[in-house]
Structure 1
Amino acid sequence: MSGIPKAPLYLGLAGLIPFVWGALTYLNGDLNDWGRQTLGSRFVGPYVQLFYGSVILSFMSGVLWGFATKTSGSKAATCYALSVLPALWVFFKTGGGPVSTGINLMYGFAGLLILDAVFSYWRLTPVWWLRLRLLLTAIVLICLAVGVYL
């Protein structure tokens, strides 16, 4: 991923660990058993993905809020309003069971990518931001899909 500073890239990739781990423990019974015995049942399968995904989607509202501070006037008001959407989405659309929560998180992360593109288009993000978000979002969606569709 050329042009993305190493720290955001490495931290972003590290942030994928719970999503990837959840998918792997969903697909592999032995790994799931080991994870449950070692870490506890909420740290395997879709459960770790759903809880962590809710946290990250909410966190990303704060990131967008930070980008909103780079503008003013009505555009700032629009950006602040858009920035709270991911956290509100999590609040209203999760908690209805693992499959519906997983689907709603997938929609939430896809919607977040649209917001990332809008903020990038408005030049409120670093130039490399959308490349990083595309990579991370694709992996998150694939991992969440394992728990939802398999």
Structure 2
Amino acid sequence: MPYSAVFLGIAGLIPFLFLPLSYVFNWLSLTQSALYFIQYSAVLLSFFGGVHWWDAIKEQAFNKQMYIAMLPTIVGWLCLVFSHRVEVLGVLSLCYVGVLVYDKFTLSLPKSYIVDYISLRIALTTVVVLCHAWMIFIVT
């Protein structure tokens, strides 16, 4: 796994960690912290759909994977529309787990990359899900 992929993956966790802390330390209001968290989460979730879009194009597999690649973007957009509801945090969290499972069974990466990629995704997704749980705890 390229160092830059690991570095950028870890760097992508910063908003998930910073935004709950920003409320705890009174840097942002609860409303701002939760809204920015949901916005970042929805945008990042959409990114994972792009991984499958590219994989389907690269493999010339214009099948269900191409359509499923759009689901994270649609779900992310709906979460933005309903961002005033705390349930959105749970939906986003579950989507990260769902996309990870789907990645494991559908991506056509070389064997040398798939183990490292999935290991990295498991670690990152674990932190992301825990941060969503933390934000749910703060909001409720």
Which residue identity lines up with residue 51 of structure 1 in the other structure? Q
Matched, 1:119 2:111: no
Alignment of 1:90-109 (within 5 A): 90-94=76-80, 95-109=82-96
5+ residue gaps, structure 1, are none
Give TM-score scaled by structure 2 length. 0.82
Give the deviation of 1:16 after TM superposition.
Answer: 0.5
Equivalent in 3, 8, 16 of residue 5 of structure 2: 8
Aligned-partner residue type, residue 93 of structure 2? M
8 Å Cα contact 2:97-2:125 kept in structure 1: yes
Residue type matched to 1:133 in 2?
R
Letter of the aligned partner of 1:54 in structure 2? A
Question: CA contact under 8 A between 1:67 and 1:119: conserved in structure 2?
Answer: no
Match of 2:28 among 20, 36, 42: 36
Who is 2:18 aligned against?
Answer: 21
Match for 1:66 among 37, 51, 54? 54
Percent of aligned pairs with the same amino acid: 27
CA shift, 1:97, in A, is: 2.2
Distance 1:13 1:98 in 2: 28
What displacement does 1:96 show?
4.8
**CA offsets per residue over residues 14-71 of structure 1, 9 Å max, x none?**
0110001123234x2xx2x2x239xxx73x3x23221100110112111221122232
Residue-pair matches, total:
133
- How far, CA to CA, are the matches of 1:88 and 1:110 in structure 2? 16
Give 1:79 shift.
1.5
1:132 positional shift = 1.4
Distance 1:19 1:66 in 2: 26
Aligned to 1:52: 40
Structure 1 position 147 matched with structure 2 position 135: yes
Q: What is the match of residue 133 of structure 1?
A: 121
Deviates more, 1:12-21 or 1:87-96: 87-96
Name the Cα RMSD after superposition: 2.1
Alpha-carbon distance, 1:142 to partner: 0.3
TM-score, structure 1 length as denominator? Answer: 0.77
Q: Which moved more, 1:62-71 or 1:93-102?
A: 93-102
Distance in 2 of aligned mates of 1:138 and 1:103:
14
Which ranges in structure 2 are unaligned for 5 or more consecutive residues?
Answer: none
Which residue does 1:80 correspond to in 2? 66
